[in-house]
Amino acid sequence: MGDDRDQREELNREIAYYKKQLDQMSGDSIRHDYVVTTLRQELKQKKNAFAVLTMLQQQFSVTTPLDVLLPETIRAINTRLGMDRSAVLVPTSSSQQFRLSHWHGYPREHFSATESVEISVDDNYINSGQPKLVNQKNPPDDRFLEMQKKLGLNFFIAVPVMDQQKVVAIIVSGRQIERLPFSPPLDTGDVDTLTAITALISSILQTKRTMELQVEKAEVEKENVAIAAQRDILEKTLTELKRTQTQLIQQEKMASLGELTAGIAHEIQNPLNFVNNFSEVSNELLDEMANELAIGNKQSAVEIVSDVKQNLEKILHHGKRADAIVKGMLQHSRTSSGQKEPTDINALADEYLRLAYHGLRAKDKTFNAKFEIDLDTSIEKINVVPQEIGRVILNLINNAFYTVSEKKRQLDGTYEPTVVISTRKLEDKIEVKVKDNGNGIPQKVMEKIFQPFFTTKPTGQGTGLGLSLSYDIITKGHGGELRVQTKEGEGSEFIIQLPSS
């Protein structure tokens, strides 16, 4: 009898021990589920933000009036970013006074009782040009209480729209309540998104001004009168054009970012599917382990623990993969610091080839092309600015896919569109080639392809800045060489050579 009692006590201790381990593992699983949920929310936020930016960039042009651009913008913000209400404030003739000009998400009768809603805005906020975030952690100070009350928004972000260091409007967008978990509290990610949207509007206004200046310059040159008297005006115009160059570069970068969005969505779905599948399998294994422990099958429970641990490692691996894709997307979108760092050129080429291909497939489901990659594995990391070199590779790959898709539309089924990217280690250089079997480049335009604003694409499908910026990045920014070899009707090959040290 004593032996049986001892055995039962020993068994009870083991059961208690494994129950404690099971509870701990269940807690770990819940924490991992929370991490996955948070990651999904962040990815959704980023995806929606880039969708809004892409849509606005495609919808608006330099001919779009500001009073059309602004209401369409707040409509897109409410629709895509999960905001309750959004409004536009424009300056009045009185100092520090702004008038409500457009709104979205409000009940129809909300502002009907008042002919004009005016709000006082602090000079310090206007002059800073910085966004203002109001949430539970950052309650409004005296300067923003009137805005909060009159616009009927408990939590909001107010972002000024700048035009030549002057506030031409304030976009205010927010929510009545912070509805976790469906709509997380407004945070710096939302601030960054709205800031990027207003920066896009400012870029459109600046580009419009640049085009107007170019027209003025052409008229001055055509008239060709009073050249000496107009010299100062022309010098000021050139200075203004140089200042707007950075805005044009940003516009080109946003265009390539929009093309990347679909490819990124495809690439990021794979690790998310793995995360979901392994999470479901882990839950099933934990149920199975509980059953095994209940019947005293310790060995099976230990084996299941090993399987769960492997699944969690895979969840972590694919979570990091998704995180890397998002970080790469953000790295492409942010302004380059200009700092060179050791970079894996092979990884860069492989990543952008796949993203560019899936992006084109997302836009045109009928398109299909063969792509090949031939990487020299002996290449070591080289010091470059990864955002800039990635932008060059992406631009060349996008051009290659565009030209083979155009040729496929012209020919019958006998043509197989093909794009090849390869790397090679030379004596003191690294070489990257992007080759296509498209229509090639006519000899009469060969000398112009690296000039700014020159494009062979139809009007509205290209800015003419891609190859020009790529040429400057490679030659001026990295001391390398960018050239092209082509045969009309057979295809083209763009060759990048970079110093290996």
Whether the predicted pLDDT of 472 surpasses 60: yes
Please say whether the beta carbons of 426 and 497 come within 8 A: yes
Please say whether the beta carbons of 29 and 283 come within 8 A: yes
Q: How confident is residue 491, by pLDDT bands cut at 50, 70 and 90? A: very high
Whether the predicted pLDDT of 179 surpasses 60: yes
Please say whether the beta carbons of 160 and 129 come within 8 A: yes
Specify the length of the chain in residues: 501
Whether the predicted pLDDT of 204 surpasses 50: yes
CB atoms closer than 10 angstroms to residue 474 = 22
Whole-number pLDDT of residue 421: 95
Whether the predicted pLDDT of 329 surpasses 60: no
pLDDT average, residue stretch 345-357: 85
Q: Which of 50-54, 109-113, 232-236 has the lowest mean pLDDT?
A: 109-113
Whether the predicted pLDDT of 289 surpasses 50: yes
Q: How confident is residue 483, by pLDDT bands cut at 50, 70 and 90? A: very high
CB atoms closer than 10 angstroms to residue 494 = 25
The torsion angles phi and psi of 390, rounded to 5 degrees, stand at -60, -40
pLDDT average, residue stretch 178-202: 78
Whole-number pLDDT of residue 270: 67
CB atoms closer than 10 angstroms to residue 370 = 11
pLDDT average, residue stretch 345-372: 81
Name the range with the highest mean pLDDT among 46-50, 350-354, 360-364.
Answer: 350-354
Q: How confident is residue 114, by pLDDT bands cut at 50, 70 and 90? A: very low
Whether the predicted pLDDT of 170 surpasses 90: yes
Q: Which residues share a beta bridge with 433?
A: 422, 495
Q: Which residues share a beta bridge with 430?
A: 425, 498
Whole-number pLDDT of residue 418: 92
Chain centroid to CA 292: how far? 48
Whether the predicted pLDDT of 332 surpasses 60: no
Q: How many CA atoms lie within 13 A of 381 on its CB side?
A: 8
The DSSP line for 222-275 is: HH--SHHHHHHHHHHHHHHHHHHHHHHHHHHHHHHHHHHHHHHHHHHHHHHHHH
What is the CA angle 110-114-118, rounded to 5? 100
Amino acid symbol at 290: A
Q: Which two tokens stand for residue 382?
A: 């080289």
The answer to whether the Cα torsion of 202, 86, 104, 41 is positive or negative is positive
90: three-class secondary structure by DSSP: strand
Whole-number pLDDT of residue 456: 67
- Sequence-ordered strand ranges (E) for 92-243: 97-104, 118-120, 132-134, 155-162, 167-175
Q: How far apart are CA 171 and CA 198, in angstroms?
A: 8
Name the range with the highest mean pLDDT among 20-24, 59-63, 253-257.
Answer: 59-63
Name the range with the highest mean pLDDT among 50-64, 230-244, 264-278, 410-424.
Answer: 410-424
Q: How confident is residue 492, by pLDDT bands cut at 50, 70 and 90? A: very high
Whether the predicted pLDDT of 430 surpasses 90: yes
State the chain's mean pLDDT as an integer.
Answer: 78
Q: How far apart are CA 121 and CA 146, in angstroms?
A: 9
Dump pLDDT digits (tens) for 117-130: 889 888 888 888 88
pLDDT average, residue stretch 387-398: 87
Cα–Cα distances in angstroms (integers) from residue 1 to residues 7, 87, 467, in the given order: 10, 81, 89
Q: Which domains does the chain have, with CATH numbers?
A: 2-54+261-332 (no CATH), 58-247 (3.30.450.40), 336-499 (3.30.565.10)
Whether the predicted pLDDT of 458 surpasses 80: no
Q: Name the residue with higher pLDDT: 379 or 241.
A: 379
Whole-number pLDDT of residue 18: 65
Query: Please, what is the angle between helix 227-294 and helix 298-333, to 10°?
Result: 180
Residue with tokens 């913000």: 77
Radius of gyration of the chain (CA): 29
Q: Which of 11-15, 182-186, 248-252, 330-334 has the lowest mean pLDDT?
A: 330-334
Name residues whose C-beta falls within 8 Å of residue 339's C-beta, 6 or more positions apart in sequence.
Answer: 385
β-pairing, 370-374 vs 418-425, is parallel
Q: How far apart are CA 185 and CA 348, in angstroms?
A: 35
Query: Please, what is the angle between helix 386-410 and helix 345-363, to 10°?
Result: 40
The answer to whether the Cα torsion of 268, 270, 274, 280 is positive or negative is positive
pTM, 2 dp = 0.41
Name the range with the highest mean pLDDT among 240-244, 263-267, 496-500.
Answer: 496-500
Please say whether the beta carbons of 90 and 169 come within 8 A: yes
Q: How far apart are CA 333 and CA 330, in angstroms?
A: 5
Cis peptide before 139 (omega within 30 of 0): no
Dump pLDDT digits (tens) for 26-64: 665 555 554 555 555 566 666 767 777 777 777 777 778
